[in-house]
Chain A
Amino acid sequence: MGGKVTCTLGEVKNRADLIVYWGGNPAECHPRHFTKYTLTQKGKFVPKGRKDRTMILVDIRETPSAKAADIFLQVRPSKDFEVLTTLRALIKGQRVSAETVAETGLTLEQLQDFAERMKKARFGVLFFGMGLSMTRGKHMNSAALLSLAAELNAFTKFVAMPMRGHGNVTGGDVVMRWTTGYPFGVNLSRGYPRFNPGEFSTVDLLLRGDNDAALILGADPGATMPQPAIDHLARIPTIVLDPKVTHTSRLARVHITTAATGISAPGTVYRMDEIPLPLRPALKSPYPTDEDVVRRIYKAVAKKPAWFPGTK
């Protein structure tokens, strides 16, 4: 089953002696990650900083992050699940087929060395990016990595953490989790939350054309989603709340300009390790905040006549 064994970045800074980045490029996408939390900082139990830590990078091509790594492992595209599953077998001392391992782009010896390093670490961290979670296998790739981290706790302390993208995506997940019990892909149409990614997740709903309206908040699906999903957004009434005009605003019926959170609107942002941080605005904005707009829409909807079973 699933489950995430995790910690905060402060613990990584003070304790981690083995840092693995999988399918991510922190040197370019999270430029302060190495210097603030993972590699160069001196920590309570890693007093010599970088010298006390080992970094392993796993990716399909040699990105600028590879320069920072002690070991770079280049896997063939869409072979991450195979590598992770093999590692799960190797840490338990199970036999695997060397020829099939070679098809992943890595040799059995490399993986055995990797498995040994993970087992011998005092405190290991697996950071994973979209190179893992958004390629063939998707959620099962993440599940494989999370299971590996959980199982390594039979030998040593090991945690896993996703490298989240721009915006407050972690916050979205965290708030959904404590309000409905599920992080995403939640349907509330029957009055109680139901969770079924693949059925209720945004991209799948749009691809099947199952929804007849959309409210987009703090995201730009028009720039990132597949074309049939974008076509459906253009077909239905779409409302966008954003500080700037995005690709999605161009195909939406309504765009409401809001104040930029953190610059001209206060709020709470969740860091990638799920630590909530308050934001204090430095500037004033003529535009309302996202919260204001949603509250006003909610009030207007509440004024409409109540709906009861049997009425159309």
Chain B
Amino acid sequence: MTTLTLKESPTVPLEAETLAPDVIAPLRHDAIAALPVFLGKRQRRLDDFFTIEGDGSDELEVRGDLGRVKWIGRGMTRGKITIVGNAGMHLGAYMKGGTIEVRGNASDWVGAEMTGGLIHVHGDAGGQIGAAYRGSLSGMNGGIILVEGSAGIEIGMRMRRGIIAVKGPVRDFAGLQMKGGTLFLLGGAELRTGAWMIRGTIVCLKPIALLPTFSYACTYDPVFLRLYGRRLEELGFSIPYQPDAGGYRRYSGDAAVPGKGEILVWKPQVA
């Protein structure tokens, strides 16, 4: 295992896309220390900011308040990164495989345009989780993002495949222009959920305000949710899927696009 400890929080954002197992694993200790990072426009060495222990390995542990350290785990394909502290923007963007675990809060653009792997945030996350970058046609295209706390705006924006599950409340525009994939909102959402969605599924366990362009279809108990339910239980997230517990109200939309997406809102059985 390679352990990196942040010496002190940088005054301006530090762009450290070299903090990924694919880059670090084949290197010896002194080569890791010389890896380039960007502080503003200045190229600096990794050991200017981090105390590095051990040679390169597939398992990285990064310690400290990394709220200003951006692009950790960019495009990684294997291995594991554990962050003990907060993580900065673009965590695990373009990720293809492996695991990232954050024991703290994450910022915006977690897992943006990722295609595989797992990101688990134990605290809160920011906006644009699993989203498409500005001007890009599709966001997340596979993999799983789990958030134990709350999340910000535009989560799952233009996502195409994969799963995002958030335990806490999320803000406006969850699943904006979604093209596929599944979004689980265990703690409900603010306004405009599923705006302009084309396809995909949003599952919400709390009652939410919907746009006028979503219309009620039916109340049912989708079979596919049992499959998702069992998978999410393994990951420590639970959604109700037993038919006797209640049903899901299905709303289809967004008619403005017009799209074939669905929002499933949990409705417990009235005893």
Whether A associates with B in a native complex is: yes
Binds A, one of B38-46, B116-124, B140-148, B224-232: B38-46
Complex Cα gap A97–B210 (Å): 10
A211 and B12 contacting across the interface, CB-CB below 8 Å? yes
**A85-B212, A89-B213, A199-B108 known; A94 vs B258 contact (CB < 8 Å):** yes
For the complex, what is the distance from the CA of A309 to the CA of B34, rounded to whole Å? 12
| Per-residue A-contact encoding for B240-262, CB less than 8 Å = 1, 0 else | 00000000000000111110000
B128 / chain A contacts, CB cutoff of 8 Å: 198
Are A196 and B134 touching (Cβ within 8 A)?
yes
Contacts of A195 in B (CB 8 A): 134-135
Contact assessment for A97 and B38 in the assembled complex, using a CB-CB cutoff below 8 Å: no
A312 on the B face (CB < 8 A): yes
Q: A210–B176 Cα gap in the complex (Å)?
A: 27
CA distance A116 to B131 in the complex (A): 35
> What chain B residues lie within 8 Å of A190 (beta carbons)?
15, 38, 41
B269 at the interface (CB under 8 A from A): no
8 A Cβ contacts from A197-211 to B: 197-199, 210-211
Q: How far is the CA of A94 from the CA of B256 in the complex (A)?
A: 7
A189 and B37 alpha carbons, distance in the complex (Å): 13
Contact of B213 among A94, A196, A197 (CB under 8 A): A94
Once the chains bind, are A95 and B255 in contact (CB under 8 Å)?
A: yes
The smallest C-beta distance from A193 to any residue of chain B, in angstroms, reads 12
**Residues of B close to A140: CB separation below 8 A:** 173, 176, 192, 195
Check A85/B211 contact, CB under 8 A, given A94-B258, A210-B12: yes
B215: interface (CB < 8 Å): yes
Kindly report which residue of chain A lies nearest to residue B136, judged by CB atoms: A1
State A196–B127 Cα separation when bound (angstroms).
13
Q: Which chain A residue has the least Cβ–Cβ distance from B213?
A: A89
Task: Give the interface residue-count category, chain A.
Answer: 35 or more
Pair A136/B12 contact, Cβ less than 8 Å: no
Q: Which of B137, B192, B258 interacts with A81 by CB under 8 Å?
A: B192
* A-B CB pair tally, cutoff 8 Å: 96
Cβ of A307 under 8 Å from chain B: yes
Closest CB-CB distance, B104 to chain A, in whole Å?
A: 17
Q: Across the two chains, which residue of chain A brings its CB closest to B214?
A: A97
Is A100 an interface residue, CB under 8 A from the partner? yes
Q: Is the CB of A89 within 8 A of B215?
A: no
Is B50 in contact with chain A by the CB < 8 A criterion?
A: no
Pairwise interchain contact B12-A86, C-beta atoms closer than 8 A: no
Contacts of B192 in A (CB 8 A): 81-82, 137, 140
Residues 6-34 (chain B) with a chain A CB within 8 angstroms: 11-13, 15
Mark contacts of A182-198 with chain B using CB atoms, 8 A cut-off: 1 yes-contact digit, 0 otherwise: 00000001110001111
A229 → chain B closest CB, angstroms: 16
Q: Give every chain A residue within 8 A of B38 (Cβ-Cβ).
A: 189-190
Min Cβ gap A271→B in Å is 27
* Inter-chain contacts of A189 with B (CB < 8 A): 38, 40-41
Residues of B within 8 A of A (CB): 11-13, 15, 36, 38, 40-45, 48, 68, 89, 108-109, 127-128, 133-135, 137, 172-173, 176, 191-192, 195-196, 210-216, 254-258
Interface pairs A-B: 5 shortest CB-CB: A94-B255, A100-B212, A88-B256, A89-B255, A309-B43
Complex A-B: 24 CB contacts under 8 Å? A1-B135, A81-B192, A82-B211, A85-B196, A85-B254, A86-B211, A88-B256, A88-B257, A89-B258, A92-B258, A96-B213, A97-B212, A101-B212, A104-B212, A136-B172, A136-B191, A189-B38, A190-B38, A191-B41, A198-B128, A210-B68, A211-B12, A212-B11, A309-B36
